[in-house]
Amino acid sequence: MTDFIYLASQSPRRLQLLEQWGVHCKLLLPEADEDVEALEVVKAGEKPAAYVQRVTGLKLQAALARIRHRKLKPAPVLCADTTVALGARILGKPEGKADAMRMLADLSGRRHRVLTAVAVGRPSLRGDKVWSALSTSWVEFAPLTPSQIRRYVESGEPMGKAGAYAIQGHAALWTSHISGSYSGIMGLPAHETAQVLNAAGARLR
C-alpha cells in the first residue's frame, strides 16, 4: 500500500473529491511546453466511449513519463477525462461563448450521456501497470430559454467544462433527472475510482 498518489489533473473538483474520500494527493501537472489540449482532439468518426478512454490513456502515459523525467518517487498516478455525448456527437469544452451557447441550446430539454474514464498507472522498471474504468451517466435538462443560456454563459461557469456546464453549479437548477454517478458527472466517479485505486495499492481511508 502507498500513502499518497499523484493526481495528473488540473481540475480542482477532482482534487476536492479525492481529498473528501481520504486520498492524499500530490499534483503532477504538465510542463509549460506540454500541449495537453492536443491530446483531446477528436478523431474522425470516433465514438464517445472510445474517445474518452483513449484521451485518458494518453494523459496517463504523459504523466508516467513526467515522473521519470523529474526523477520523482514512484507512486500510483491517477488521470481522468470527462466528455458529454448527445447521441454519437461529442461535446467537449467550448471554444468560446458562442460555442457554449450552441451546446446548451442543443442540450436544452434533452437527455444526454456524461462519460468519465479514470485510469491509474503504477510506474515500474519491468513495465508500467495500468488499471482503468469507465463511468456512464445520464442527465436530462429542462427546456432552457435563450436568456437563461445567455446569463449562464456570461457567468463564465461553462468555460473549460465538457458540454459547457457544471452539474455542481448553476446548471443543477435545470437538471430534471440524473441516472448514474453524480461524482462521475462532476468529473471523477467514486465507485470506479475506488476500484482502480484499490487495485493499484493506493490507501483509501
Does 1 score more than 70 pLDDT? no
Tell me the pairing of strands 77-86 and 175-179. Answer: unpaired
pTM of the model: 0.93
Residue-wise pLDDT tens digits, 3-52: 899 999 999 999 999 999 999 999 999 988 888 888 889 999 999 999 99
Query: Which H or E run contains 161?
Result: none
Residue-wise pLDDT tens digits, 87-124: 999 999 999 999 999 999 999 999 999 999 999 999 88
Catalytic residues: 81
Within the chain, how many helices (H) and strands (E) appear?
7, 7
5-199: which CATH architecture?
Alpha-Beta Complex (3.90)
